[in-house]
Structure 1
Amino acid sequence: MEKVHKVLDFFLSHQKALGYGAISLLTIGSERIFSVAVFKCPCNSWNMLYGAVFLLVPAFILFLLGMLLKTRSWKVLTGCCATSRMGRCPHSGRFCRYLQVLWLEAASAAVAPFTWIAVALLGGSFYECAATGNSIVQQQMCKGKTEEGIKECLEMVPKVPCDTSASPSEMQNMLTSLRAESQVIGWILIAIVFTLVLAGTCISRCRSPVSILQLAFWKIYMEKESQLFEVKAKEHAVKLAERNLKCFFDSTELEPFETPSSKAWHGVSSLFAFNPEQHYYSMIHKYVTCKSKSGSIRSTEGDTFPMSLGFVDAAGVSVTEPTL
């Protein structure tokens, strides 16, 4: 039993890295299935469009799905176009913060798309099909031939990915070069992504306003607060539903029931700001503390938005379920 707890603790403490790993593995598996079972290069004038679609469109769809599942992006977007807020633009500081959050969420959601493109480039099939349909590549492959030979060569180039055994040796060599070019681009893309991730992580940790042990404690607190919030929210919702249904079916008087106001919900749903003078671990922590002191949870001088504390806004229950 102790070993099971250790395994669970390991997964919980590394859930973000494991999550990205799982997403990458699923993306790699999906790309392999598509390239083997679905992708069939038409070997005609459609080569360029067909290859580009298989290389880029699935990556774009994965990016949209990633953004759809990001909690922090919905904290920025939910209610931003409500009727009560129409004509009220956020001040420059808050607007820049919104853009920063959306940019960071976009970078996080780009893990699966970059994985798809990198794996597809390493495989080479999509790139070969797209490249043989490109007029510039065709001219390069047929360079040095006579006018009649160029015409025949241009007709043959799009067919190279379909029937390699019947292609001339020079076409085979060019196809090999295209595959090598695709793989080189793939490895360069992987190296750039890992370099950017490492640089971003180093910058984030170096600029962290708290120590590594406090950061570890903070993450534990946010995990527990998120779990308890979901439990308490369900309990509160059940009690409110029971009261309303009892009043409806039994025709009794409506009993008083305390529930957070819309202002309170907006307050605890806003983006978290770190302030060394008023140290809170979450917006709920800030709200209940300020409420007991008759204070305000509005932004104050000295508020900062460190990248290392982005997990505070990311914590919470799912908000992407479809509504009827």
Structure 2
Amino acid sequence: MDKLKAVLSIAKTQQTTLGFGLVALLTAGGEQVFSAVVFRCPCSSWNFAYGTVFLLVPALVLLILGYILSNKTWKMFTGLCFRKRTPFRLRNTCVFLKMFMQISTTAMVAPVSWIAVALLNGIYFECARTGLNSTLFQDYLCLGKAPQCQSELHRFPCGKSSVPEKEDVLATIRAESQVLGWLLIASIMTAALLLTCVARCRSPISYVQLKFWQVYAQKESDLLDRYAAEHAQNLAERNLTSFFQQKPPEVFVTPDRNAWEKVSSFFHFSTKKLHYSILHKYVETDLGPTGARRPSGVSEGGDLAIPTVLSFVDEGRAIL
């Protein structure tokens, strides 16, 4: 059980290559179990709807789950209803859309893996294809076959048809499904390679510094969890001690609401002052030497929307 939790914790680090691979493998394994244990083609007029639902609806559920587990999703929406309204700016809209695309790219790993593996398996597509009520597709599959081929096409997946060529028709459908599956995989891999190349090409920092940045972001996330747990425990112990001993509480320094709000916002990369996270930026600009502090709420010049190659900085860990 502990080993399984360790694997899942790695898989939830969604911005790493290993995390993407583990998410895809877990999804593929789940699809295999699902198709073997749950799926039973009805071999009736329900074939198309049943097969399509099993092919696409689990992918939709995984996509929604990907949005739910993304740290960025809740950074965008937490407290949104109470934020001060700002005038419409095209730049803000573009930043929002870019952030949404980054979240979607991560969330699409599992659903695309499901569809690709399901197409390679061919069972769902086979059921849906034999139930497709289209004369064009039925004529294509039954060309040169027995006269009752079209009327009994929906019964082929269950082996209940008397048409002698039913295995040839099913083999053709499976071949179509597998070709579509490989085309989907090849398209996704090609798109991922092109996007990675463009992101790396437009990186404002070098390869080695980018690796350091990634290590820093991971270490900061780990330490933040530990420090938050210790700080919460100390605060709880102080309050309980004060309550049970009925004496005034000791002085306890904790970040105020404004500080929490600042370190919960999205990080913006600046070409003028290099900070490795929003927490790093807050510590140096708001808690630095008195002469170096700037007024609260004032943004330093030169901030740009975070480059795609640095998107891991704000991703953190998936919620769960």
1:277-292 map, 5 Å: 277-291=272-286, 292=288
Of 236, 245, 264, 1:241 maps to: 236
Cross-structure match for 2:3: none
Deviations, residues 170-215 of structure 1 (Å, cap 9, x unaligned): x433322211111111110000000011111111111110011111
Amino acid at match of 1:158: H
Q: Do the aligned partners of residues 283 and 158 (structure 1) sit closer, same or farther apart at CA in structure 2, a change above 3 Å counting?
A: same
Matches of 2:91 and 2:15 in 1, distance apart? 32
Amino acid at match of 2:164: P
Deviations, residues 228-281 of structure 1 (Å, cap 9, x unaligned): 212211121112111211221111113332211111111111111111111111
Q: Does 1:212 align with 2:207?
A: yes
The alignment partner of 2:303 has SS state of coil
Of 185, 190, 197, 1:190 maps to: 185
The alignment partner of 1:258 has SS state of coil
Q: Do the aligned partners of residues 229 and 248 (structure 1) sit closer, same or farther apart at CA in structure 2, a change above 3 Å counting?
A: same
Deviations, residues 137-159 of structure 1 (Å, cap 9, x unaligned): 3354456899xx5xx44430110
Matches of 1:241 and 1:90 in 2, distance apart? 43
Of 160, 163, 170, 1:167 maps to: 163
The alignment partner of 1:160 has SS state of helix
Compute the displacement of 1:118 (Å): 0.7
Instruction: State the TM-score, normalized to the length of structure 1.
Output: 0.85
Is the Cα–Cα contact under 8 Å of residues 43 and 162 in structure 1 kept in the other structure? yes
Matches of 1:14 and 1:106 in 2, distance apart? 12
Is the Cα–Cα contact under 8 Å of residues 286 and 297 in structure 1 kept in the other structure? no
Of 120, 123, 126, 1:122 maps to: 120
Matches of 2:85 and 2:308 in 1, distance apart? 30
**Comparing 297-306 and 127-136, the one that deviates more:** 297-306
Q: How many residues align?
A: 301
Deviations, residues 76-134 of structure 1 (Å, cap 9, x unaligned): 121112xx337557643233212211211111111111111111111111101101111
Matches of 2:299 and 2:52 in 1, distance apart? 46
Instruction: State the TM-score, normalized to the length of structure 2.
Output: 0.86
Q: Do the aligned partners of residues 23 and 164 (structure 1) sit closer, same or farther apart at CA in structure 2, a change above 3 Å counting?
A: farther
Matches of 1:246 and 1:43 in 2, distance apart? 69
Cross-structure match for 1:101: 99
Amino acid at match of 1:181: E
